[in-house]
């Protein structure tokens, strides 16, 4: 059975072109980029070339890019470094209740350190209201951290408006762009973003590498002490193969983002229409228009998300549950809860996310398989 991968929001396969670019940096070109000799010089050049590509992807200057171990580190660094650096100025941080745990838990940590955090609600569509952001601002507000697009329901936030507001009030603005970077055009200057998190494995690069954009002049104390790499902003020897992979993924994204966007959107709409045509009592979560091109997040009445996933997997289809099931309890996720999705619908939720290697044939087979699975599960349901 040919398997179908529809969980691109969890991670993407590394593009063959990225793999090829990384290959020499495992052993042939292994120098430490901080070394003076020619081994070091050749890897330093590769790291700097990657930095140029990542910077170009978000219209930043190369010196504003700091390589990290991924999105989680970038988020933690943005929040904790900014918070502690600006402690004298104020102790208030604004975020939303639907952020990724990398932001939410970092904010909870900041609360334990005496910071005051406002967790803004979102509309049922997942959209954060700019007037709520405005109202939450206080004299002591030092940072607004609001994600670009939600990783579960795919809703895209009005980051340019939030950035403009933050700038007007002289507050730093961080956005977690892990789900959008490499998929959507982002201009950190146009959107007045001071700090931005991105992660290679969400756009066909390797896992365990990402970057934090830090606008020139942003007050910043490093999160880790050590050898003062990355101009003293992130110590530790560079993950050269990973960084080269991130750079290549960024280069490919720059070239292919526009045509890919249209193709994936067309496939996404085909998937949604097919499902809605064949299955009744199915609801789209997230914003109908302001959403990621590749995201279909559904609540399906009278089915359990976990059973849905297992049955789909048996049909060879990999999707994701809209509920956090790591604890085995299938409790609705914090996002579903914050959006006010009733628990019985949240429990029957399914996220299907498409990507570069999705095909029309896969979409049609998924519609057929999901239809069969839902019919089967409903036939067993007591409701
Ligand atoms: N932020 C968002 C919105 C994400 O979707 C993820 C990954 O799922 C992360 C942060 C964490 O990124 P990483 O896996 O690179 O640490």
Domain spans of the chain, in order of start? 4-12+257-380, 16-252
Q: Whose CA is nearest to atom 10 of ligand 1?
A: 71
Q: Does 99 sit in the ligand 1 pocket, CB within 6 Å?
A: no
Dump pLDDT digits (tens) for 108-131. 999 999 999 999 999 999 999 999
Mutate to test the pocket of ligand 1, among 70, 107, 200 (most ligand atoms within 8 A of CB): 70
Strand partners, 141: 92
Determine if ligand 1 sits within 6 Å of the CB of residue 176: yes
Reported as a single tens digit per residue, the pLDDT across 321-364 is 865 444 455 678 999 999 999 988 998 999 999 999 999 999 99
Stretch 80-99: mean pLDDT: 97
State how far the Cα of 138 lies from the Cα of 206, in Å rounded to an integer. Answer: 40
Nearest CA to ligand 1 atom 12: 71
> Nearest residue CA, atom 9 of ligand 1?
71
**C-beta atoms surrounding 8 within 10 Å:** 26
Which numeric CATH code is attached to 16-252?
Answer: 3.40.640.10
- Residues carrying an active site annotation: 325
Whole-prediction pTM value? 0.97
For residue 74, give the ligand 1 atom closest to its CA: 16
How much is the average pLDDT of 23-49? 97
CATH 3.90.1150.10 fits 4-12+257-380, yes or no: yes
Residue 211 beta carbon below 6 angstroms from any ligand 1 atom? no
């Amino acid at each position: 059975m040919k398997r179908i991968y529809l969980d691109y929001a969890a991670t993407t396969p590394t593009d063959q072109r990225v793999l090829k670019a990384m290959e020499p940096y495992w052993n042939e070109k292994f120098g430490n980029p901080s070394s003076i000799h020619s081994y070091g010089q050749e890897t330093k050049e590769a790291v700097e070339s990657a930095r140029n590509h990542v910077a170009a992807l978000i219209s930043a200057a190369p010196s504003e890019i700091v390589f990290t171990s991924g999105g989680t580190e970038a988020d933690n660094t943005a929040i904790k470094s900014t918070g502690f650096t600006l402690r004298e100025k104020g102790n208030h941080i604004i975020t939303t209740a639907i952020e990724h745990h990398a932001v939410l838990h970092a904010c909870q940590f900041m609360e334990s350190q005496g910071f005051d955090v406002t967790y803004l609600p979102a509309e049922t569509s997942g959209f954060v209201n700019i007037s709520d952001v405005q109202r939450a601002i206080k004299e002591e507000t030092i940072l607004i951290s609001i994600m670009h697009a939600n990783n579960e329901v795919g809703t895209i936030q009005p980051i340019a408006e939030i950035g403009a507001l933050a700038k007007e009030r002289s507050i730093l603005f961080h956005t977690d762009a892990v789900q959008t970077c490499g998929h959507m055009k982002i201009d950190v200057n146009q959107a007045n973003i001071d700090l931005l998190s991105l992660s290679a494995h969400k756009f066909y690069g390797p896992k365990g590498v990402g970057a934090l954009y830090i606008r020139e002049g942003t007050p910043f104390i490093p999160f880790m002490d050590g050898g003062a790499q990355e101009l003293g902003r992130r110590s530790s020897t560079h993950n050269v193969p990973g960084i080269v992979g991130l750079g290549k993924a960024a280069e490919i994204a720059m070239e292919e983002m526009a045509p890919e966007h249209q193709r994936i959107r067309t496939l996404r709409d085909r998937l949604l229409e097919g499902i809605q045509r064949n299955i009744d009592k199915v609801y789209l979560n997230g914003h109908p228009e302001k959403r990621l091109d590749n995201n279909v997040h559904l609540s399906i009445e009278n089915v359990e998300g976990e059973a849905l996933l297992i049955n789909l997997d048996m049909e060879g289809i990999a999707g994701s549950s809209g509920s956090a099931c790591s604890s085995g309890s299938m409790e609705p996720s914090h996002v579903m809860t914050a959006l006010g999705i009733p628990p019985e619908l949240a429990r029957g939720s399914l996220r299907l996310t498409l990507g570069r290697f999705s095909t029309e044939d896969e979409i049609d087979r998924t519609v057929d398989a999901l239809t069969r699975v839902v019919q089967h599960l409903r036939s067993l349901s007591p409701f």
